[in-house]
Amino acid sequence: MRAFFEGIQWLFENIFFWPLDQLRALELSCWSGANLINWIFMAICSYATWYWCKQLVAHKKSGEDFQDTTAHSFLTK
């Protein structure tokens, strides 16, 4: 059973975390290069948030957005 868990440890340390080890080594020589992926993710999330808000406004203006504040019929009594 111990060999099974050591195999899982080897898999994660040597295979799955290899890209993160490379980023950690890159950070020592080039901080901006190591953080480039963070900036890319922030740009993608910012664009997605902007697009989502734009679509919400468009649906509200067209009248497609129907909001019923009562979740169940017994709440209206």
Break the chain into its structural domains and give their ranges: 2-64
Which tokens hold the place of 71? 């979740």
pLDDT in tens, 4-21: 999 999 999 999 999 999
pLDDT in tens, 18-35: 999 998 899 889 989 889
C-alpha–C-alpha distance, residues 10 and 17, integer Å = 10
Long-range CB contacts (within 8 A, 24+) of 6-9:
none
DSSP 1-37: -HHHHHHHHHHIIIIITHHHHHHHHHHHH-HHHHTHH
